[in-house]
Structure 1
């Protein structure tokens, strides 16, 4: 089993371009698995982890309800935002500047074949990272992602998650609010969950800005341990 994971930081990149790139990496792994099965070969399948920061964009998952987007096409333009219906699970979410978005594109045959465990470990990676900043983050039963003050009237989401998997290959991933403009969340019902607030790390810490690269490094350290993976940094593709 190949537990090497190629790490690429794509910087600030358009959502659709990044989605197309994810699809390309995802399909290459799936095609190799199909070839291995058909021919009886055992070529190693690669694993990838993409970091990216997107311009303002709203995305709606396969099971999402369009009415959870509270603004129309004209208002989207005014806000400098775009909108896409996509092939991950979950409802509506927002990506934008000040948010760390991570897309692990893994062949889970290299790790474990359990989607529930995969999601729980991604959540744990974020929980452990936030603990380093003195925050007690946790899961909310029946609601994917990472939350603060679960079970209280002050419950608020700090990290959204939504994945797609086929033939045990994953794509899409998580979005952690670090220095996010929370005003953009007012234009949707986040993940289709009403009456729950959204927050960002800088707000929780009472700081104007949190070092995004520092947060990334903490996430990666916990990812390596939880997945027993070996991260290999690669230059951003042209």
Structure 2
């Protein structure tokens, strides 16, 4: 069984994490490392994917500056999303040829990993036809956003953002993922109490390894 090297980065700004991803993706492409997973939290940040509409940022630059919210144009797929402390962000750096070579199947695997985490908490997570991510309450509220990039050499970057206990008011600054008629929620809201990010991370690692047939090992640094 292949291994999955886990790096816990803690609180880290988006652009720094992005540069780390790009470096690791180059190393993965050249066979210098195996599959790798970054787990982290971002400070308040709005990111725009390659299908984003700038008008889906509802706040003015002055309002964003006053709230300390950064805005970053990303190269991931998808629309506009929001990151904040209390949100568990997972960036898998995978060689896709070892996982079926199908990016759609890969994204479904990420969704399934989150659905299994939610199930472990007694929450029914689900997919919504035509939309990416994981939803609850019959698809009316999104709990996990997913946006990925596949390099020319077939290595994945970016990934998923699972709302554990972020300040959800930040999502009012945007049209989340370009969807106006559905809400956003978190594990804390659905459970009435917030589990620890570390606990959720361990459950996510377990489900990712189960789905992608990997064995987790912690990085030495």
Q: Which band: TM-score by shorter chain?
A: over 0.9
The list of structure 1 runs, each at least 4 consecutive aligned residues, that deviate by more than 4 angstroms after superposition, is none
Task: Tell me the residue number matched to 1:214.
Answer: 199
- Structure 1 residue matching 2:156: 3-state secondary structure: strand
User: How much does 1:225 deviate?
Assistant: 0.8
Report the TM-score, using the length of structure 2 for normalisation: 0.96
Paired residues, number: 220
Q: Whole-Å Cα distance in 1 between the matches of residues 217 and 137 of structure 2?
A: 35
1:46 deviates by 1.9
Cα displacement (A) at 1:29: 2.5
Structure-2 change in CA distance of 1:18 and 1:44 (3 Å): closer
Instruction: Report the Cα offset of residue 76 of structure 1.
Output: 1.0
Structure 2 CA distance, aligned partners of 1:79 and 1:222? Answer: 35
8 Å CA contact retained: 1:63, 1:91: yes
Please give the residue correspondences for 1:68-217 in structure 2 after superposition, counting only pairs within 5 Å: 68-150=56-138, 155-166=140-151, 167-207=153-193, 209-217=194-202
Q: Which runs of 5+ in 1 are unaligned?
A: 33-42
The residue aligned with 2:20 is 21
Preserved contact between residue 3 and residue 111 of structure 1 (Cα < 8 Å): no
1:21 alignment partner, SS class = helix
SS at structure 1 position matched to 2:20: helix
The Cα of 1:61 is off from its aligned counterpart by: 0.4
C-alpha contact (below 8 Å) 1:3/1:110 kept by paired residues? no
Partner deviation per Cα, 1:174-212 (whole Å, 9 max, x = no partner): 0000011010000100000111100010011112x3211
Q: More displaced, 21-30 or 123-132?
A: 21-30
Does the aligned pair in 2 maintain the 1:139–1:150 contact within 8 Å? no
Aligned-pair Cα RMSD in Å: 1.3
TM-score by length of 1: 0.89
Structure number with larger C-alpha Rg = 1
